[in-house]
Chain A
Amino acid sequence: MVSTHPLVEARDLTKVYPARGSTPEFRAVDGIDFALERGESFGLLGPNGAGKSTTMRMIAATSPISGGSLRVLGMDPMKQGPEIRARLGVVTQDDHLDNELTVRENLHIYGRYFGLPRAVIRERATRLLDFAQLQEKAGDQVETLSGGMRRRLTIARSLINEPDILLLDEPTTGLDPQARHILWDRLFQLKQQGVTLILTTHYMDEAEQLCDRLVVVDHGRIVAQGSPQELIHRYATREVLELRFRLDERDTAAEKLRTSVLATGGTDAEGRVELLPDRVLVYTADGEAALATVHAMSLTPLTALVRRATLEDVFLKLTGRSLIE
């Protein structure tokens, strides 16, 4: 199917979870619009509870939409669920591997769910085990795998039907740094091969590494969108000065900074000060100059770090909250 249509198109997409017992109804996704083009890698970035997983489930045709419209691969997920799912690869937030089966059997049966012939599955499974670096584990029960291995197997499994779109819901949450880097490497490889990715994350570095385009979601709404660079450019400054103060000094220092030229802008038109529980962030075009200003105010931070702005800063600026609480 050659088409100029987006692979996924959401207009005013809404999800309301109905009331249940004493829990009132809940608007988890509150009218979002986006379009996904073939070959791009698209990210939903937002804190816990923002509605990322809910959006992913609606795209995957496993959760009925409550309002607006959604087209996936040109089809209606409410009417053509099986046809859509046949062409998607889905990595849910939790690994739901089949614990009663071995690693290779997990791949095999997943292929069978997609109606693939055994010979095709055998060939693909061998390739995917390679890709996931799980060749040696092929005959093991999945219970014996580490978290990172389980995640890689889940991703390998989602590729068994050679999907048009791969959906990844927080692919590296809960993994140690090394396991994350292995996964990023695998996902980057997929991206290089032209696989269309949709991923959710609350890790800024992940979004920066893997996404061509992002929407930042908060409370079920899109608060910003663009490429990682655009977002940083638009919503953050070039540099950030991170300051830590002694506990007894922190509040007075923060107060001073808040009323200083650093917060109100002054010569630095972009200037701004954010207070976090453990540190103070000064947004500025020139970190070293800002630090000089701090010293000139006779403040003595315990540590001072000048770094380039990240998507974390974008989120903070947009919502006034830190992304990972």
Chain B
Amino acid sequence: MTTVAVPAWTRRRALALIERNFMIYRRSVTPLLNALVEPILYLLSIGVGVGMLVGTVPGVDVPYAAYVGPAILATTAMNTAFNQTSFGVFIRMRVEKTYEAILPTPLSVTDIAVGEVTSAMINGLLTSIGFLTLMAVGGLVTSAWVLLALPASLLISYAFAAGGLAVTTYLRDFPDFQYIQLFMLPMYLFATTFYPLSVYPEAVRPLIQALPLYHSIELVREPALGHLSWDLLIPVAYLLAFGSVAMYVATRRMTRAMLR
């Protein structure tokens, strides 16, 4: 029914939307700094505070805060990217009507989706760099492999930006955002952010392992603790697949909704 975008064109044209978003971000870094507030609070209260009681996690010989830090870094990338394509896109779509002006230009709906997801990935990378710097300053870096967290944060941002975009196409109005929180917050708390998978009974583990945040945390935490293995390809594959399915759903539904 609608035009299938030529990939090469798409990449070039989507750049214009990224440029648009960064014309706005460039004005102030406040939103990016804000995105760091919550993870810092978690790191201090739970990583450092609760960590005083915990000492170390069984089988892990680093301080508790150094164990929790990489997981919070993963959630930082997740939240930054997800917020931009859920709240941000919803407002641009329904309130600001930003895309209405873009539709008559050569950009396709696919370009808009790609542009939004890419901007969100860049933001996810930036907040991850910020958080990693703070971790380093706080002495929570125990292995140089932690630098793999940066490409990992791009992949995490991709998965959650695409996921956010897909979810946004199902939202009717602002109150629907509550349902998103109903999923995001428990995932944040239970996807092995603050303790290892071994805490759960065998029967519950597959449930946790099905969560995208679980894989995101694995991908950042394992290298950060100096554990490199081919097993890391599992979260890589999971996040790529998750993001791509979400991207497919998002572009299809956005195209249908916008080209009426």
Contact = CB atoms under 8 A, between A and B. Distances in A.
Interface of A: 17, 60, 62-64, 78-83, 85-86, 88, 90, 92, 94, 96-101, 105, 109-110, 112-115
A115 B96 contact: no
Contact of B106 (A85, A94, A98, A100): A85
Interface stretch (B13-21, B119-127, B223-231, B240-248): B13-21
Of the candidates B2, B3, B9, the one having the most CB atoms from chain A within 10 angstroms of its own CB is B3
B20 A112 contact: yes
Contacts of A97: 101
A79 B106 contact: no
A115 B23 contact: no
Contact of A60 (B9, B101, B104): B104
A101 B23 contact: yes
Contacts of A63: 259-260
A85 B259 contact: no
A165 to B, nearest CB: 12
A163 to B, nearest CB: 10
B204 interface: no
A92 B260 contact: no
Contacts of A60: 104
A55 to B, nearest CB: 14
Nearest to A86: B106
B1 interface: yes
Interface string B4-31: 0100010011001101100110000000
Contacts of B103: 62
Interface string B90-119: 000000111011111111100000000000
Nearest to B108: A82
13 contacts: A62-B103, A62-B259, A78-B1, A78-B2, A82-B3, A82-B5, A82-B13, A83-B106, A96-B98, A98-B101, A112-B19, A113-B102, A114-B106
A93 to B, nearest CB: 10
A275 B16 CA distance: 55
Given A96-B100, A97-B101, A82 B106 contact: yes
Contacts of A98: 20, 96, 98, 101
Contacts of A109: 16, 19-20, 23
A62 B106 contact: no
B26 to A, nearest CB: 11
Interface of B: 1-3, 5, 9, 12-13, 16-17, 19-20, 23-24, 96-98, 100-108, 259-260
Given A98-B98, A101-B24, A105-B23, A90 B16 contact: no
B104 A90 contact: yes
A160 to B, nearest CB: 10
Contacts of A96: 97-98, 100-101
A80 B4 CA distance: 10
Contacts of A17: 260
Contacts of B108: 81-82
A96 B96 CA distance: 8
A114 B24 CA distance: 19
Of the candidates B23, B104, B106, the one having the most CB atoms from chain A within 10 angstroms of its own CB is B104
B257 to A, nearest CB: 11
B100 A113 contact: no
A-B residue pairs, 3 tightest by C-beta: A90-B104, A113-B105, A96-B101
A85 B104 contact: yes
A113 B19 CA distance: 10
A101 B25 CA distance: 11
Nearest to A97: B101
Nearest to A91: B104
B2 A92 contact: no
A142 to B, nearest CB: 11
Of the candidates B13, B19, B105, the one having the most CB atoms from chain A within 10 angstroms of its own CB is B105
A64 B13 CA distance: 21
A115 B13 contact: yes
Contacts of B23: 101, 105, 109
A64 B1 CA distance: 7
Contact of A100 (B3, B9, B24, B105): B24
Contacts of B102: 113
A98 B23 CA distance: 12
Contacts of B16: 109, 112-113, 115
A115 B19 contact: no
Nearest to B105: A113
A85 B105 contact: yes
Contacts of B19: 109, 112
A113 B107 contact: yes
A90 B103 CA distance: 10
Nearest to B1: A64
Given A80-B3, A115-B16, A92 B100 contact: yes
Contact of A115 (B3, B12, B17, B98): B12
Contacts of A115: 12-13, 16, 106
Contact of A78 (B3, B5, B105): B3
A269 B5 CA distance: 60
Contacts of A62: 103-104, 259
Of the candidates B5, B13, B106, the one having the most CB atoms from chain A within 10 angstroms of its own CB is B106
Contacts of B101: 92, 96-98, 110
A82 B2 CA distance: 11
Nearest to B258: A62
